[in-house]
Each structure stands twice: as C-alpha cells, then as structure tokens.
Amino acid sequence: MSLTPFELAALELSLRVGIVSTLCSLPFGLGAAWLLARCRFPGKALLDVAIHMPLVLPPVVVGYTLLIVFGRRGAVGAWLFDTLGVALAFDWKGAALASAIMAFPLLVRAIRLSLGAVDRRLEAAALTLGASRTRVFFTVTMPLTAPGLLAGAILGFARSIGEFGATISFVSNLPGVTQTLPLAFFSLIQQPGGDAAAFRLTLISLAISLAALLASELLSRRLAARLGNAA
C-alpha cells in the first residue's frame, strides 16, 4: 500500500505529536499520580476532578479553552510569544499540547493504579536499611511502578495520535502544519474521490492503535514477570 505525500505528511505529523505529547506529559503525570496516590491535602478531590475533566468535557470545549488561554492574545499565549517567541495556536506544538491534555487522564490513572499496588513495606524496609527517600523512589518504587508507567505512556500515545476535536479547535486543520491523521481523514471525506485515501488512513490508524495496545499489554506483562522473578 503506497501512500501519497499528503498521507505521509499527516502520518509523520501524528507520530511527532504523539511522541512529543507523551514525553512531555510523563513527568507531570507521574507527579500528579503520586499526589493522588500517596498524599493527603486540602483540595485533593478537586485536583482529581480537574485531571479527569477532559474525559467528560467535549473535546471542542477543551480546544476552545486552549485557544483563549494559549492563543496569540491569550494570557499565557501572549506572554509566551512576546517573551520566548513561541506560538502554540495554529502550530504543531499546539496540537501536541491539546493531545497531551486529552490523554493526560489515561496516563495519570494507569500510573496511579500502579503506585497503589506497590507494597509499601518494601519501601519501609529500604528506609530502615538506611536508603534515602530519593534512592528508595528510584530503586524500589519506580521499578515496581514501571509496568503502569509504560502502559500509561503507550495508551497516552495512542490517544494523542487519535485526537480530533481539541486539535481542530485550537490549531485548525492546516495541511503540513497541524493536519494529523484524524484531521486528514476529515478533510478527505469532505471532498469527492477521497474515499480510497480515507480508507488507507483508517487502516493506518487501526494498525497504530492495535500495535500500541498490544505493546502496552506485552511489555507490562514482561516487566511484571521480570520484577516477580527478581523478587
């Protein structure tokens, strides 16, 4: 199956957006999951609601909110452009931001569940033996959390490359600039004779999604088995 330059550009941009959004989300997702799983503080329930809000809000609402905040005239967007020369609206970086926000709840949930399953007695034993909290985190907690972290990252990546509503609302549908696979598919089904190309993009999207889900499951099982053998 040969792809046209139009389809290849959409595929390349989708992969770039998915990778960038996932890598940038991981530190924040880990921090948010740690707060929700391990900490008690006023407003914890509100933080939980805010993190999961993209799951229930219409994606176009999320995209419109991003446009207001991070647009060229938005409070944050104006500062970014005037200070750093960074423009997010109508740019692929904005597509990465929109995709990251929509995928963030899935990432946090997977890491939070994995953190909750860690045996706290192992961490306590390491502290008793003289290890610092930082060393315990990186040598005990993180390896035990790795399956959930990896699964969340892959699911977040798959969700990112499939994002449509927030992306088109925030960065529009500009070929070669912000047009990811879902946006290219939308353009193709709006024009006569675009059915064949739309079908090819559908197959590509299905292949990427299936590969991501299978990779998440297989790698999580392998890591869990390795950790079990090490224990």
Q: Which CATH architecture has domain 15-38+52-230?
A: Orthogonal Bundle (1.10)
Q: Looking at the predicted structure, is the pLDDT value of residue 21 above 70?
A: yes
Give the whole-number percent of the chain exceeding pLDDT 70: 95
pLDDT in tens, 158-191: 889 889 999 999 999 988 899 999 999 999 888 8
User: Please, are residues 74 and 124 in contact by the beta-carbon 8 Å criterion?
Assistant: no
Q: Stretch 191-212: mean pLDDT, rounded? A: 86
pLDDT in tens, 82-98: 898 888 999 999 999 99
Phi/psi at 183 (nearest 5 deg)? -70, -35
Locate the domains of the chain by residue range: 15-38+52-230
